[in-house]
Chain A
Amino acid sequence: MIRFENVGLRYGTGREVLSDLTFSIAPHSFQFLTGPSGAGKTTLIRLLFLNLKPTRGLISIFGKDTALLRRADMPALRRRIGVVFQDFRLLDHLTTYENVALPYRVLGKDEASYRADVTDLLDWVGLGDRKHVYPPVLSGGEKQRAAIARALITKPEFLLADEPTGNVDPPLARRLLRLFLELNRLGTAVLIATHDIGLMDQLDARRMVIENGHLEIYE
Chain B
Amino acid sequence: MKTSIPRPKRAASAPKARPGGDMAVASPIVPPQAIAGRTLVLVIAIMTFLAGFTIAVVSVIDRAADAWASDIGREVTIEIRPLDGVAIDAEVEKAVALAQEFPGVGGARGISDAETQRLLEPWLGPGTDLSALPVPRLVVVSIDNAAAFDTKALAEAVSRDIRGGSVDDHALWVDRLSAMASSMVFAGIGLMTLMLVALILSVVFATRAAMAGNRDVIEVLHFCGAEDRFIAGQFQRRFLLFGVEGGAIGGALALLAMMIAAWAIGGSAGRPGADQLEALFGRFELPGTAYVLVLALVVAVALLTALTSRLAVRRSLSALD
Contacts and interface: CB of A to CB of B under 8 A. Distances in A.
B5 A83 contact: no
Contacts of B34: 93
A195 interface: no
Given A97-B18, A102-B29, A102-B220, 13 more contacts: A71-B228, A72-B228, A76-B225, A79-B224, A89-B216, A91-B216, A98-B26, A105-B29, A106-B221, A115-B15, A117-B10, A150-B224, A175-B1
Contacts of B11: 112-113
Contacts of B220: 89, 91, 102
Contacts of A108: 230
30 contacts: A49-B223, A71-B321, A72-B227, A75-B222, A75-B225, A78-B222, A79-B225, A91-B220, A93-B27, A93-B34, A94-B27, A95-B27, A97-B18, A98-B26, A102-B224, A111-B15, A112-B14, A113-B11, A115-B15, A115-B16, A115-B18, A116-B9, A124-B2, A124-B5, A125-B1, A126-B1, A131-B19, A152-B5, A178-B3, A186-B5
Contacts of B230: 106, 108
Contacts of A83: 223
* Most chain A C-beta atoms within 10 Å of own C-beta, residue among B217, B220, B224, B230: B224
A131 B1 CA distance: 16
Given A71-B318, A83-B223, A182 B3 contact: yes
| Closest 8 A/B residue pairs (Cβ) | A79-B225, A120-B6, A112-B15, A93-B31, A78-B225, A106-B226, A113-B11, A103-B224
A132 interface: yes
The size bracket of the interface on B is 35 or more
Tell me what chain B mostly uses at the interface: helix, strand, loop, or mixed: loop
A178 to B, nearest CB: 7
Nearest to B11: A113
Interface of B: 1-6, 8-16, 18-20, 26-27, 29, 31, 33-34, 216-217, 219-228, 230, 318, 321
Contacts of A95: 27
Contacts of A49: 223
Nearest to B225: A79
A25 interface: no
A28 interface: no
Contacts, number: 100
Interface string A44-77: 0000010100000000000000000001100110
A111 B10 CA distance: 11
Contacts of B227: 72, 75
Nearest to B32: A93
A179 interface: yes
A124 B141 CA distance: 96
Tell me what chain A mostly uses at the interface: helix, strand, loop, or mixed: helix
The size bracket of the interface on A is 35 or more
A76 B222 CA distance: 11
A107 interface: yes
Contacts of B226: 75, 106
Given A112-B11, A155-B8, A175-B1, A106 B224 contact: yes
B19 A132 contact: yes
A121 interface: yes
A91 B225 contact: no
Interface in A82-136: 83, 89, 91, 93-95, 97-98, 102-103, 105-108, 111-117, 120-121, 123-126, 131-132
A154 B225 CA distance: 11
A175 B1 CA distance: 8
Contacts of B2: 123-124
Contacts of A124: 1-2, 5-6
B225 A103 contact: yes
B27 to A, nearest CB: 5
A173 interface: no
B8 A78 contact: no
A2 interface: no
B216 A117 contact: no
